[in-house]
Amino acid sequence: MAEVTITGFSHVGIRVHDLERSRKFYELLGFEFIVGPVGPEPVAIMKHPAGIEINFILNAPESETPNVLMDVEGKKPGYTHIALACADLDAAAKALEAAGHEITGRMEFLPGFHGMFVRDPDRNVVELNHDSR
């Protein structure tokens, strides 16, 4: 059997309805716009100084729709969220809430390891966590 050699994490693809509203949300998290829309889908790319890249697939036809992995009865397989390490959860919560984004949950996973959840404009779940252990 051939070995598959992974050399790193490339990007997360997120289907969105409106590039500008998605871009504003992810800019709050420190992402920078790189290019787009490009290609036949089309796609727009944002990158964070920490090296994380997001590709927005710009073909969601509806502006408001339930997240089928998180908001409907019966759990389906699939990616449920992205998790991003965050230096200051309280500051992040204040910035997100001031921009009109609700923090949908907070938790302490382990002593010293805290997290919170927020939805992007297309209802995709973003977890921000901080490890102070």
3-state helix, strand, coil in the chain (%, to 5): 15, 35, 50
What is the CATH number for 38? 3.10.180.10
Flag whether pLDDT at 53 surpasses 80: yes
Domain membership flag for residue 4: no
Flag whether pLDDT at 116 surpasses 90: yes
Domain membership flag for residue 1: no
Torsion of Cα atoms, 6 then 11 then 13 then 17, to 10°: 180
Alpha-carbon separation of residue 113 from 6, 91, 127 (angstroms): 28, 16, 13
Flag whether pLDDT at 73 surpasses 90: no
Flag whether pLDDT at 68 surpasses 80: no
Domain coverage including residue 32? 12-69+79-131
Domain membership flag for residue 117: yes
Number of domains in the chain: 1
pLDDT of residue 49: 96
Flag whether pLDDT at 109 surpasses 90: no
Instruction: Map residue 104 onto helix, strand or coil.
Output: strand
Contact 14, 59 (CB under 8 A): no
How many Cβ atoms from other residues are within 10 Å of residue 8's Cβ? Answer: 5
Share of the chain above pLDDT 90, in %: 71
Dmax (CA) for the chain in angstroms is: 53
Mean pLDDT to the nearest integer, 50-66? 88
pLDDT of residue 100: 96
Query: Phi and psi at residue 115, in whole multiples of 5°?
Result: -150, 165
